[in-house]
A and B are shown apart, each in its own frame.
Chain A
């Protein structure tokens, strides 16, 4: 391997090595935790290094084992991949820190941190791979580790959620595998950049559209799009809150990332069908998810439903394929990873104080008792609603401006309505969980809550994690300019994939003329 390849390999290798190491020292929780934290931190640094390289020199590619591009597996990093790797590593770091206070010694002894690291490695692999079969393999790797995290601990509710999670995700990956097989049968290649060239040359484009829709359905299950999201609210609230936070932040976004990659790079031959479907799904998902959230009376289940509705927002840019809306999509996706983690982790502290009870009826009085916690929850919650000056505002602003420019009136309306109902949902959480007086407790319950409340050692791990996330959300909102400029270039690379194809196949690859139509109205 050429020495220049290391920056692309390190974000995957480091967490994998750390996972192995963490497993060998799983008997000593403190050592294991340190290995996990160090692994995440080094991954974050290598991710930042990769981002600086990509930002300065355009998309980077490396052929693994020097098997030349369309034949071997390549790793490719464009700005979107690099940014996602950085955010993933940051969330991994925060979650690894918070886990020390939340998951308990039992889970840690059974390899919790190894699962965590493998999940992060699998995500980085999925973001960086340039080979579509390799993407499937990374999906399976991270799916396996999520199965572990989902059922680790073996509580009844976890097993139940795990069964539903397993069944639907297996169907999704099998569907993905079928679609990859059929695509290979038609084009004879698995390299994504090569596919971008070969796909327009296929003799039977109608058949190709069928395969594109199979990809769409497979990724839609992963991303939790309407009407395929039923597994998500059935399972995400069952593991410990910190695991829910990681899942809500990362997993659905990997589905969205794959959709963006596949439908900007490979399947742009029949945008009237595929991208119209994306637009319809985006609109319905935004509305259905937020209505689901409004119907919940449990903070954990409410938050899992809000994951669904935000996915709809991220598809607007992909459906419209204009530069402004794509900017909104990428920015919204990046900041939503932080927002979701922040919401779940802050709510996790509130639920800890209530001895694990999370229904609205059993929570209350936190504004009076723990104002700092209410404020920590308020920052990601405001970003979720899209209030200035927080990060969510810029994302929604770009998305809605992009949708208006493309004259996609229905999509704009759906986004605005969904945002409005989100304000109601968050307002309701505030009214019941924070402002309402604390519920009357029996003496036994009060004792149980005091016993379960986080110790000061726990707080040393939980609070910095949430503060770090809230701080970044605030900073991204107030100092938005540099990030927006970076994301704008990422969007440009997605709309016109010439640079991506050239990075993989060399300058002679004669990339197809990008179809710059903003198809959907």
Chain B
């Protein structure tokens, strides 16, 4: 397990990075979901990986047996999975909506929020025009 978990996490992160570099929004969302799974594995491993000793206190005892599995990271992972699931659901719906509304899932084609203005507003030119108008007495 000591070797399998890091390799698996690394492969997952590599794949998700590759996917997120894509211009296709669907791939980006898939990459994000892979990444959150990889992180869940990191948290799981951070609680130390042990086998077959559940964190149960024997009757009459006060402490669980030595080398028990740490339950806290598993609780954290559970929380993270639930939250990640909610985010993924929202991301998928948003992807679908952007395909419906914008007609594309190519992120470079999504220029509605930051359009390329053909002739940006030139306040100096406008000020000059206004001064000329004032000199001619038309204002």
Contact = CB atoms under 8 A, between A and B. Distances in A.
Interface in A29-82: none
Contact of B46 (A137, A143, A174, A181): A181
B98 A170 contact: no
B39 interface: yes
A180 B130 CA distance: 59
A233 to B, nearest CB: 8
A297 B121 contact: yes
Interface string B31-55: 0100110010011011110000000
Contacts of B39: 174, 177-178, 181
Contacts of A184: 43, 46-47, 72-73, 76
A485 interface: no
A151 B113 contact: no
Interface residues of B, number: 43
Contacts of A177: 36, 39, 43, 80
A304 to B, nearest CB: 11
Given A160-B113, A184-B46, A174 B35 contact: yes
Contacts of A161: 113
B112 A170 contact: no
A140 B102 contact: no
Given A144-B90, A156-B102, A174-B39, A163 B25 contact: yes
A276 interface: no
A449 interface: no
B120 A133 contact: no
Contact of B113 (A174, A235, A359, A437): A235
A428 B113 CA distance: 23
Interface residues of A, number: 43
Given A160-B113, A163-B107, A234-B114, A151 B42 contact: no
Interface string B95-122: 1011001100001001111100100110
B35 to A, nearest CB: 5
Contacts of B112: 156-157, 159-160
A137 B25 CA distance: 26
A377 interface: no
A154 interface: yes
Interface string B64-82: 0000000011001001100
B94 A162 contact: yes
Nearest to B121: A297
Contacts, number: 115
B91 interface: yes
A436 B126 contact: yes
B60 interface: no
Contacts of B110: 160, 163
Contacts of B72: 184, 190
A432 interface: yes
A297 B119 CA distance: 11
Contacts of B7: none
Interface string A349-363: 000000000011100
B43 A238 contact: no
Interface string A327-361: 00000000000000000000000000000000111
Contacts of B107: 163-164
Nearest to B110: A160
Given A140-B87, A359-B121, A185 B45 contact: yes
Interface in A288-309: 297
B137 interface: no
Nearest to B119: A361
B121 A159 contact: no
Contacts of B95: 163
Given A137-B83, A160-B102, A234-B114, A185 B47 contact: yes
Contacts of B43: 177-178, 180-181, 184
A165 to B, nearest CB: 10
Interface string A420-442: 00000000100110001100000
A182 B42 contact: yes
Contacts of B123: 297, 360, 428, 431-432
Which 3 interchain pairs have the tightest Cβ spacing?
Answer: A185-B46, A181-B43, A297-B121
Interface of B: 20, 25, 28, 32, 35-36, 39, 42-43, 45-48, 72-73, 76, 79-80, 83, 86-87, 90-91, 94-95, 97-98, 101-102, 107, 110-114, 117, 120-121, 123, 126-127, 130, 139
Given A156-B102, A167-B20, A180-B76, 10 more contacts: A170-B32, A171-B32, A174-B39, A178-B39, A185-B48, A190-B72, A234-B114, A235-B113, A297-B123, A432-B126
7 contacts: A156-B112, A159-B98, A159-B112, A163-B94, A170-B32, A181-B46, A360-B121
